Structure 1
């Protein structure tokens, strides 16, 4: 009898894709198919039926119908911000794992309810944040201590759209916020992985287009964050209508500096001499592939689950606090103008 026993094949996770006909859903769909079996899809969009036929999985227009008729292990959710909480709540209450687009939640109350539902069902709810799986950002996190005690950072992230925001992101009802909630969630999550939650955040909201001002959906946000316990301060600037598309994080420390773009991270000594650099020029699909595979492989990892949830809760708390302060100012201006 042979001493080599073949390992029992681990069954592939069964995935329900929710919101698969949108831009992000279509981007993730082939990556999900590489790592799991797509057993159904939910999307009311007119193009969803033909897309489901092309990918050969059952299509449902309503989530409740899919939950009643489909056996699955995890749902991959890519829907407008306003739908995140009701969709994920229903899936968790059904006893299934969730892998979802950012933000984790729009408010801290919703975030805590999702965490409660996940814990009650003993299920994971993970957030799709690609920078956490970009090798350049991983190098930055792992080498941050080499610059000594950080005392300043600046983080800029800009798109260069030549037209007003369109689609559901142009609707206050569906977007629930402007660039801070949409683009800014990525940056605040990156900073949450490097530093504690800021004690103070001062913000300025700017509007390139009048219709976005009327809808209270900021086109640009500038933040100044303070961390009194460590003496760290930092700035973030996020916009959709810059003259160029760019992303750049710089952290200054007592023993050097760290510069990060999506493709290159460089460690500098005091005075600016480059000490070490890390470059990654792989396709974006490789990051998505690594992220999806990692989450599917950690669905039952309790420690990873808890760390992820606490980090997301910090990000949601920070963003909700900024919006609360800004909306209060909007209301005060409106009262003066009445």
Structure 2
């Protein structure tokens, strides 16, 4: 039995984007339904009417709740007695703001894929739209949903590492190492500044690495020095970045993100070192967190195992691996908790990334570009 059984009824959910062949749309749908917290009842899954209809039929949406454009969907769903309470936005980056605006102004909660927007100007407009709405806004930096990421954050907040000194985060992939990647559905829009924004790998996966580092350490980045490259022939946006970081409390950091690193599939890894010890976590082996107290042997903490406080975020007993989809579902569950609380008139914020995280991510991308254009000069965020 799910640990969520017994709470108020499922949240009625809509989706914009995520039609046939879209990887991230399928991930959001699985995460939303994993614990029975959401019912997907409406969608504008493609901007092409034929594909929108076919995609809606494929996932079981009623024809009259399958829309050809998001504006019509927002207008009609807001009028329906049983209309959606929340919408998941899983479009290319340039549509995040215009889609979110239509739903926010009608009081419909927004669960948006990252990054926040394509441009900083749109990010500022998004901030105004969120602040003017009574609706919740959740940004799916899903790696913060891993139980042992939450464990690492708690340990650092409790002072188990002491004063932080060094933070290293990396996110290498290899799926864009070949030029043919730009002809795929996932790749072709990511190298288009009009749809992706000014950042390539920095916006796509660098923002994840940056957000993970911020979430776990709790420390802001005050300045950075970046070196961005576009190794793929004919590419308009970066596919590799090396970034040096200065953190608010004096720690120093390094961030590497790359989509042209053969042998790496989804190698997000975070290492944090303080005066009392260090932590090491890898997304490809997420059920283990290495903790090394200074001068002592390394301890292996496991999800749900001794010495951890992760029961709230886990579904299976220790030793039964959980991973990417479950972590994603934890973000959706946090959103559902907040939405259900709002049903009863409560003003509860979601225990998940939101507007502030998105604005910081956009600032990070912009600072990386400014620094790299100035030959790696240090710039403030």
Contact 2:228 2:368 in 1 (8 A): no
- Alpha-carbon deviation of 1:35? 2.4
Which of 254, 268, 287 aligns to 1:235? It is 254
Kept in 1, the 8 Å contact 2:123–2:359? The answer is yes
> CA shift at 1:303, angstroms?
5.3
Tell me the equivalent position of 1:198.
221
Evaluate the alpha carbon distance shift between residue 206 and residue 170 of structure 1 in structure 2; reply closer, same or farther with a 3 A threshold. same
Query: Cα distance, 1:123 vs. partner?
Result: 0.9
1:141 matches 2:161: no
Check 1:321–1:283 CA distance in 2 against 1; reply closer, same or farther (3 A cut). closer
Distance change >3 Å, CA 72–CA 143, structure 1 → 2: same
Task: Give TM-score, length-normalised by structure 1.
Answer: 0.86
Distance in 2 of aligned mates of 1:272 and 1:112: 48
Moved more, 171-180 or 74-83: 171-180
Cα displacement (A) at 1:108: 4.2
Q: Contact (CA 8 Å) 2:226, 2:369: kept in 1 or not?
A: no
Counterpart CA distance in 1 for 2:364 and 2:54 is 40
Residue number among 139, 143, 160 corresponding to 1:131 in the alignment: 143
Alignment of 1:287 with 2:292, yes or no, is: no
For normalisation by structure 2, the TM-score amounts to 0.77
Gaps of 5+ in 2: 1-5, 78-82, 183-187, 304-318, 377-381
What displacement does 1:252 show? 1.3
- Bigger helix share: 1
More strand by share: 1
Instruction: Work out which of the residue numbers 222, 237, 241 in structure 2 matches 1:221.
Output: 241
- Alignment deviations for residues 243-270 of structure 1 (CA, whole Å, 9 cap, x no partner): 3222321111111111111222111022
Shift of residue 99 of structure 1? 0.3
Q: Secondary structure at the match of 1:18?
A: strand
Q: Which moved more, 1:270-279 or 1:170-179?
A: 270-279
1:75: which partner in 2? 87
The residue number in structure 2 matching 1:297 is 337
Counterpart among 361, 371, 374 of residue 315 in structure 1: 361
| Aligned with 1:183 (options 205, 230, 233) | 205
Task: Point out the more displaced range, 77-86 or 238-247.
Answer: 238-247
Instruction: Please give the root-mean-square deviation of Cα atoms over the aligned residues, in Å.
Output: 2.5
Distance 1:91 1:327 in 2: 37
